[in-house]
Structure 1
C-alpha cells in the first residue's frame, strides 16, 4: 500500500513538473509574440497617423499597412523592393533609429523571461534558460513569418531573402546580448557544448583577455570610444547642415509644401540621423563614404557625384573639391575623441600593470573596430538602381580605420595616462604636490620640513 502511495506521489510530482515546463515555455512563446506584435503595431500606428494627416492621400490604408510591415523588416536590417518605371528597385538604406523600439521590446521580454527563471517559485525555474530563450525566439519569428507573407505584396514589398536572414540574426544577437547582460559570465553555459570545448582549448592568456574583469573593462572602453565616434560624427553632420541652411530650407519646401508633409520629412530625417552620425564618423576616420556611382566624400577631398534626390540630410555634403587643412583638422577631432576616452577607461586609476593596460586597450580597440564595422554595414545601402545603388561608408574599411586609430594611438595614450596617474599619486603621497600642503595623516620623510619650517 505504501509503495502505491509513493508511486502515486512520484507520478503526481512528475505531472506537476511537466505542467510547469509547458506553462513556462508557453509564457516564453507568448512573450516573443507580444514583443513582435507591439513593435509592429507601434510602427503601424505612426504610419497610419501620417497617412491620415496627409492632405492628398493617393492610396487606401492597405498601402500604409504594407509600408508599416516593410518598415518593421527594415528595422531588423532587411531590405525593401520598390515598384519603379524600369522595374523593381531595391531599397536597402534602413533608418537605424527604427530598430530602437523593436529591439528594446525583445530585450525586455528576454530579460523578464530570464528573471522569472531565477525565481524558484516560478514555473520557468523548471526549464533551462536556453530552452526559454529558444521559445521566445520562436514566438518572435512566428509573428515575423506572418508579417512577411503580408508584406510580400504592395508598392513596397519586403525582400524575402533579406528578411529571412536579417530578422532571425538580429533577434538572436539581441537575445545573446541580453543573456550576457543578465547572467554575466554564466551566459557561457548557454553556448553549445562543442563551442564551449573550443573555448576551453584556447590558450590561457587569450581566454583571460576575453573573460572576467578584463573583458568588462575593455567593453566599457570600447563602448566609450564608439559613442565618441558617433557623437563626433553627429556634430560634423549638424555642422554641415548649419553651413547650408538656405539649401536645406529650399529642399524642405520643395519636398513638402504643407506642414503635414514637412513633419513627415523631418521625422524621416530624425530616423536617419544615427545613419548620418555613422557616415560622419567614417568621414572623420578617413575612409569617408559614397553617395552613389562610386563617388567618395572624405576629409582629403570629395569627388564628383551624380544628381542626388532633394533631401535635407544630403544638403550638408561638401562640394566636390580637394580637401584643405581646415577639413582635415575638423575631421581629426573624431578619432582624437575616441582615443582619449578609450585611454581613460583602459588606464583606470593607474594601478594596473603596464602589460594589462596595454592588453585592455588593444582588446578595446578591436571591439571598437568590430562595432564600427557592424554599424557601417547597417548604416548604408541602396536607394535604387544604377547611380543610386550604393550609399554610405565602406563597412570593412571603416572598421579597419576605427581599429587602427584606437590601437595605434589608444594603446600609447593609455600607457602614458597610466604613467602620469602613477606619477601624480606618488607625488601626492610624498607630500610634494605643487602648490598644496601635505595631506594630513600621510607619513613624512625624516629630515624633511614642511612650508612652515617645522620638522616632519
Structure 2
C-alpha cells in the first residue's frame, strides 16, 4: 500500500512538473504571437485611419489590410511585388522603411526581455522545473513565425503580395538578430551558453587574449564610442537631407501640391516622407563620407558631382537631390560635417576620463572605428533597395563601400583625435594640481614675497 502511495506521489509530481514546463513554454509562444499581432495591429490601424479620412477611397478595407501586412513584412526587410504596372510585368519593391523597422524590433525586444527575466527569476512560492532560456526563446520565435506564416498566406491573394523568398529569409533573420541582441544585453557574455554546443567550442579555440578582450572594458568602451559615432553619422546625414530640401523648398512644395491636392492626401504623402526620413539620413551619411548613393541604375550622387539619372518616382523627398553636374564648394563643406561629427564623438567616448594609457586609448579607438564601419555597412544595406525593374532596380548607397569609408574616416582621423584629446585632458587635470602649490604668485606666475618693514 505504501509503495502504491509513493508511486502515485511520484507520478503526480512528474505530471505537475510537466504541466508547469508546458505552461512556461506556452507563455513564451503567446508572447511571440502577441509581439507579432501588436506590430500587425498597429500598422493596420494606421492604414485604416488613412483609408477612412481619404475623401475618394477607391478600394475597400480588405486592400488596406493587405497593405498593412505588406508594410509589416517590409519592416522586417522583406520585399513586395507590384503587379499593377504600366508594362504589365510585376515589379519588385524592396526598400525597407527603417522607421517602420523599429516597431517589430522593439516589440520583439520587449517580449524576449520579459521571457528571459521570467526564466531567470522563478517564483519561490511555486517551485517547479526550470526551463532553459534557449527553449523559451525558441518557443517565442515559433509563436512569432506562426503569425508571420498566416500573414504571408493572407497577402498572397492581394494586388501587392509579398515576395515569398525574401519574406522567408527576412522575417526569421530579423527575429533571430533581435533575440540575440536582447540576450546579449540581458545576460552579457553568459548569452554564449544559448548558442548550439558547437559554437561555444569554436569560440573556445580562439586565443586567450582575444577571448578575454571581447567581453572586457575595452570592448565595452569601443562599443559606446562606435554607437556614438554611428549616431553622429545619421544625425549629420539627416541634417544634409533637410538642408537639401530647404534649398529646393519651392520644388518640394510644387511636387507635394501636384501629388495631393487635398489635405488628407498631403498628410499621407508627408507621413510617407517621414517614414523614409531615416533612410534618407543614411543616404546623406553615405554622401558625406564620399561614396555617395545611387538613385537608379548607373547614376551616382556624391559630394564631387552627380551623374544624370533616370526619371524618378514622384516623391517630395527626392526633390532635394542636387542637380546633375560637378559638386559645389558649399555642398563639399557641408559634406565634411558628416565624418567630422563621427570623429569627434568617437574620440570623446574612446578617451573616457583620460587616465588610460595611450595604447589602450588607441586600441579602443581603432576597435570603435571597425565597429562603426560594420554598423554603417549594415544600415547602408538596409536603407537601399529596388523600387522597380531596370533603371529603378537600384536605390541607395553601396553597403560595403560605405562601411569601408566610415571605418577609414574614423580610424585615420579618430585615433589621432583620441590620442590628442587624451593628452589635452591629462594636461588639464594636472593644471589645477600645480595651481594649488603653496605660496602666492605674481602677475607672470613667479613667486611673490613680502619684504620686511624697515
Question: The TM-score by the shorter chain falls in which range?
Answer: over 0.9
Query: Cα distance, 1:327 vs. partner?
Result: 1.8
Query: Cα distance, 1:85 vs. partner?
Result: 3.0
> Are residues 326 and 124 of structure 1, via their aligned partners in 2, closer, same or farther at CA, if it must alter by over 3 Å?
farther
Alignment partner, residue 119 of structure 2: 117
74-83 or 123-132: bigger deviation: 123-132
* Alpha-carbon contact 2:17-2:128 (below 8 Å) kept: no
> Are residues 454 and 100 of structure 1, via their aligned partners in 2, closer, same or farther at CA, if it must alter by over 3 Å?
farther
Does 1:283 find its partner at 2:287? Answer: yes
Alignment partner, residue 86 of structure 2: 85
Does 1:100 find its partner at 2:102? Answer: yes
1:427 to 423, 426, 431: 431
* Alpha-carbon contact 1:222-1:367 (below 8 Å) kept: yes
Q: Measure the CA separation in 2 of the matches of 1:210 and 1:420.
A: 29
Query: Cα distance, 1:312 vs. partner?
Result: 0.6
Query: Cα distance, 1:5 vs. partner?
Result: 4.9
Alignment partner, residue 33 of structure 1: 33
- Normalising by structure 2, what TM-score? 0.94
For residue 157 of structure 1, give the secondary structure of its aligned residue in structure 2. Answer: coil
Alignment partner, residue 435 of structure 1: none
For residue 297 of structure 2, give the secondary structure of its aligned residue in structure 1. Answer: coil
Q: Measure the CA separation in 1 of the matches of 2:449 and 2:54.
A: 83
Q: Equivalent residues in 2 for 1:39-58 (5 A)?
A: 39-58=39-58
Alignment partner, residue 148 of structure 2: 144
1:416 to 420, 431, 434: 420
* Alpha-carbon contact 1:209-1:363 (below 8 Å) kept: no
Q: Measure the CA separation in 1 of the matches of 2:160 and 2:96.
A: 13
* Alpha-carbon contact 1:340-1:410 (below 8 Å) kept: yes
* Alpha-carbon contact 1:32-1:138 (below 8 Å) kept: yes
* Alpha-carbon contact 2:289-2:339 (below 8 Å) kept: yes
Q: Measure the CA separation in 2 of the matches of 1:205 and 1:279.
A: 38
CA offset digits 1:349-399 (Å, max 9, x no partner): 111111111111111111111111111111111111111111111111111
Alignment partner, residue 374 of structure 1: 378
Query: Cα distance, 1:257 vs. partner?
Result: 0.7
Alignment partner, residue 263 of structure 2: 259
For residue 276 of structure 2, give the secondary structure of its aligned residue in structure 1. Answer: helix
Query: Cα distance, 1:142 vs. partner?
Result: 0.2
> Are residues 126 and 381 of structure 1, via their aligned partners in 2, closer, same or farther at CA, if it must alter by over 3 Å?
same
1:202 to 206, 213, 235: 206
252-261 or 120-129: bigger deviation: 120-129
> Are residues 356 and 125 of structure 1, via their aligned partners in 2, closer, same or farther at CA, if it must alter by over 3 Å?
farther
* Alpha-carbon contact 1:20-1:123 (below 8 Å) kept: no
56-65 or 31-40: bigger deviation: 56-65
* Alpha-carbon contact 1:117-1:125 (below 8 Å) kept: no
Any stretches of 5+ residues in structure 2 without a counterpart?
none
Does 1:66 find its partner at 2:66? Answer: yes
* Alpha-carbon contact 2:17-2:129 (below 8 Å) kept: no
- Number of residue pairs aligned between Structure 1 and Structure 2: 442
Q: Measure the CA separation in 2 of the matches of 1:310 and 1:37.
A: 33
Does 1:244 find its partner at 2:245? Answer: no
For residue 161 of structure 2, give the secondary structure of its aligned residue in structure 1. Answer: strand
> Are residues 39 and 429 of structure 1, via their aligned partners in 2, closer, same or farther at CA, if it must alter by over 3 Å?
same
Does 1:162 find its partner at 2:162? Answer: no
* Alpha-carbon contact 2:294-2:395 (below 8 Å) kept: yes
Query: Cα distance, 1:207 vs. partner?
Result: 2.1
1:327 to 308, 331, 334: 331
Does 1:347 find its partner at 2:351? Answer: yes
Does 1:360 find its partner at 2:361? Answer: no
Query: Cα distance, 1:427 vs. partner?
Result: 2.2
CA offset digits 1:18-46 (Å, max 9, x no partner): 21111000000000000001100111111
Query: Cα distance, 1:4 vs. partner?
Result: 5.2
Query: Cα distance, 1:80 vs. partner?
Result: 0.5
Alignment partner, residue 314 of structure 1: 318
Query: Cα distance, 1:124 vs. partner?
Result: 8.8
Q: Measure the CA separation in 1 of the matches of 2:391 and 2:129.
A: 56
Q: Measure the CA separation in 1 of the matches of 2:263 and 2:129.
A: 54
113-122 or 98-107: bigger deviation: 113-122
Query: Cα distance, 1:14 vs. partner?
Result: 2.6
Query: Cα distance, 1:241 vs. partner?
Result: 0.3
Q: Measure the CA separation in 1 of the matches of 2:226 and 2:63.
A: 42
- Normalising by structure 1, what TM-score? 0.93
> Are residues 31 and 245 of structure 1, via their aligned partners in 2, closer, same or farther at CA, if it must alter by over 3 Å?
same
Query: Cα distance, 1:139 vs. partner?
Result: 0.2
179-188 or 333-342: bigger deviation: 179-188
23-32 or 320-329: bigger deviation: 320-329
Q: Measure the CA separation in 2 of the matches of 1:15 and 1:354.
A: 62
Any stretches of 5+ residues in structure 1 without a counterpart?
432-437, 439-443
